[in-house]
RNA sequence: GCCCGGGUGGUGUAGUCCGGCCUAACAUGCGGGCCUGUCGAGCCCGCGCCUCGGGUUCAAAUCCCGGCCCGGGCGCCA
């Protein structure tokens, strides 16, 4: 049989989940980890685990080779093995079949005790799990999160590709604390100081000036905030778009349709993995409801929350609002002063801006706006917010030579994963999360 | 960063309030033994733990102070 990778005469990799009736009576080769060993004396059951599932390897003492039998019962959990044997239909076995091995090769033994139980007989705390993430990720239920995450990213790329977006990569090492607001991580850049970028915002807009018209970027963002919550990370993945010749409503439509399509495709492509996690996905209806900032404030106030108009909504206010809005919804038309300098104020009422946050319950998933494309207004807004236009050299220049009107948003991919899978902690959605205290692994 | 709660075998818990009967318990694991249909296998024997530093006391896992670490809530957060 030809190898999928090199094309040579190599036995093709077969996963446990691919074993079917056609294989009954045939000899196959499996690779994986020893998930469990059940030694009944005259009969030994091994459970082999690979990426896609499990297979029971059965060794009846009277049937298999004596040395092989002795070797199998001495195996340690999580050792890596190769099994060559016959697939036998067996109603008493899980999935209706078992493998009677002719050969078991130990490719690598595992030490004991394990840092945590892959079988999940004993739960482990998130911190212990993250300290030993490679082992934690061996749990099908945990690995499934990342199979879904893969499908989510694929779905987003497909959606935006189909709509004519150009996927780009912008610098993550930048020269100045550009936007203000959040803290940046300083780094050493040869003889100068530089920073890790907090957002691709200024570069996305620069590409509007460059005439790209529709861009997508999926990449890391860095925030040096000392927050310590279940929904913040210091390194996150942001899905960003920027579109020319549309307003904020235009990019909100891309956002809600993209989210809906992500749900559809995850349902289509990840049925097994959703099953492992135990999640039943309901595709949200579009369009998502638009709730104005004013109305949101009103809801929170009616429930007894003290909200100052003009400020960002507090966690407690958002939780009150989420009592009425559990699914996806937009909070729109935020006070101009509460949003970044590049957000476009309404001509009719400059106190509010063409801005929106996409919410899922009380958690902010994305935020965006129509941007200011006029040089003079942009400079004025920078000054209003206490920023120095001199620090925005390359960015400001792009507004002098034909910057089209444009709008865009940034969405936290990790937050979207939380929303889709109902994860209680954002760290669950990330392979190797970076938070206030965790830099390893 | 603030407030509150916590740190006990590899893992997850009990014990701490009310100091002594804790030579620290249970589950899982690990080592050994028995067992031919397990799938949370079962049974028997064994192994392995009080976060660190200081203090109080005849006596500290237990009380007090400090450090480190963790959890929950909040703040900060394009």
Residue-wise pLDDT tens digits, A67-86: 999 999 889 999 999 999 99
From CA A191, how far away is CA A277, in angstroms rounded?
49
pLDDT of residue A129: 92
ipTM: 0.88
Mean pLDDT, consecutive 10-residue stretches, chain A (441 aa), reads 48 84 92 94 94 94 92 92 94 92 93 88 89 93 95 97 97 77 83 89 95 96 86 93 96 97 96 92 94 93 87 89 92 93 94 95 94 95 87 90 96 94 91 87 85
pLDDT of residue A180: 61
pLDDT of residue A306: 85
Is the four-CA dihedral A434, A177, A312, A226 of positive or negative sign?
positive
A406 within 8 A of A207, measured Cβ to Cβ = no
A1 within 8 A of A11, measured Cβ to Cβ = yes
A179 within 8 A of A199, measured Cβ to Cβ = yes
Nearest nucleic acid nucleotide to A39, CA to C1' distance: B38
From CA A113, how far away is CA A131, in angstroms rounded?
16
From CA A325, how far away is CA A357, in angstroms rounded?
14
Helix (H) or strand (E) holding A273: helix A271-277
Dihedral, CA of residue A246, residue A247, residue A250 and residue A256, to nearest 10: 140
Q: Mark residues 43-62 of chain A whose C-beta is closer than 7 A to nucleic acid strand B.
A: 43, 45, 56, 58, 60-62
For every residue of A117-161, DSSP letters joined together read -TT-SS---HHHHHHTHHHHTTSHHHHHHHHHHHHHHHHHHHHHH
A185 within 8 A of A196, measured Cβ to Cβ = yes
Cα of first residue to Cα of last residue in chain A, in angstroms, is 39
Catalytic residue ranges of A:
223, 225, 231-232, 364, 367, 415
Å: A167 CA to B78 C1': 20
pLDDT of residue A178: 59
pLDDT of residue A225: 84
Nearest nucleic acid nucleotide to A130, CA to C1' distance: B70
Q: Which two tokens stand for residue A421?
A: 């899978």
Which one, of A421, A412, A431, A420, lies nearest residue A232 by Cα? A412
From CA A198, how far away is CA A221, in angstroms rounded?
5
Predicted TM-score of the model (pTM): 0.92
Protein-covered nucleotides of chain B (CB closer than 7 Å) are 1-2, 10-13, 27-32, 34-42, 69-78
Nearest nucleic acid nucleotide to A121, CA to C1' distance: B28
From CA A353, how far away is CA A101, in angstroms rounded?
69
- Does residue A333 reach within 7 angstroms of strand B, measured from its CB? no
A354 within 8 A of A372, measured Cβ to Cβ = no
Q: Mark residues 354-393 of chain A whose C-beta is closer than 7 A to nucleic acid strand B.
A: 367
From CA A44, how far away is CA A38, in angstroms rounded?
6
Q: Name the residue with tokens 């913040």.
A: A232
């Amino acid at each position: 049989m030809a190898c999928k990778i090199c094309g040579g005469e190599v036995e093709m990799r077969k996963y446990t989940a691919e074993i079917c009736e056609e294989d009954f009576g045939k000899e196959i080769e499996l690779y994986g980890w020893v998930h469990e060993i059940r030694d009944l004396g005259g009969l030994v059951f091994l459970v082999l685990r690979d990426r896609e599932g499990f297979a029971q390897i059965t060794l009846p003492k009277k049937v298999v080779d004596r040395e092989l039998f002795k070797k199998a019962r001495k195996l340690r959990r999580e050792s890596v093995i190769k099994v060559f044997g016959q697939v036998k239909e067996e109603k008493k076995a899980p999935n209706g079949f078992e493998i009677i091995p002719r050969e078991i090769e130990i490719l690598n033994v595992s030490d004991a005790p394990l840092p945590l139980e892959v079988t999940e007989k004993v739960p482990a705390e998130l911190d212990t799990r993250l300290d030993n993430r490679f082992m934690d990720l061996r749990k099908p239920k945990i690995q499934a999160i990342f199979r879904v995450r893969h499908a989510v990213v694929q779905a987003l790329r497909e959606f935006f590709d189909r709509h004519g977006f150009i996927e780009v990569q912008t610098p993550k090492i930048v020269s100045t604390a550009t936007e203000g607001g959040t803290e940046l991580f300083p780094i050493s850049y040869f003889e100068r100081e530089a920073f890790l970028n907090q957002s691709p915002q200024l570069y996305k807009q620069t590409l509007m000036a460059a005439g790209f018209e529709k861009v997508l970027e999926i990449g890391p963002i860095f925030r040096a905030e000392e927050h310590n919550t279940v929904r913040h990370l210091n390194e996150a993945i942001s899905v960003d778009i920027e579109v020319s010749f549309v307003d904020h409503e235009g990019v909100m439509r891309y956002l809600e349709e993209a989210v809906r399509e992500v749900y559809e495709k995850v349902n289509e492509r990840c049925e097994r993995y959703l099953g492992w996690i135990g999640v039943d996905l309901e595709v949200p209806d579009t369009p998502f409801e638009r709730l104005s900032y004013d109305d949101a404030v009103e809801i929170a106030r009616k429930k007894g929350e003290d909200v100052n108009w003009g400020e960002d909504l507090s966690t407690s206010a958002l939780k009150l609002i989420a009592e009425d809005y559990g699914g996806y919804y937009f909070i729109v038309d935020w006070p101009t002063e509460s949003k970044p300098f590049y957000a476009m104020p309404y001509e009719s009422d400059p106190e509010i801006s063409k801005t929106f946050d996409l919410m899922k319950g009380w958690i902010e998933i994305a935020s965006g706006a129509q941007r200011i494309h006029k040089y003079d207004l942009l400079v004025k807004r920078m000054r209003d917010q206490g920023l120095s236009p001199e620090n925005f050299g390359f960015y400001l220049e792009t507004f002098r030579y034909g910057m089209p009107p444009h709008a865009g948003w940034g969405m936290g991919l990790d937050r979207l994963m939380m929303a889709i899978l109902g994860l209680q902690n954002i760290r669950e959605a990330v392979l190797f999360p970076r938070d206030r205290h965790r830099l390893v692994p």
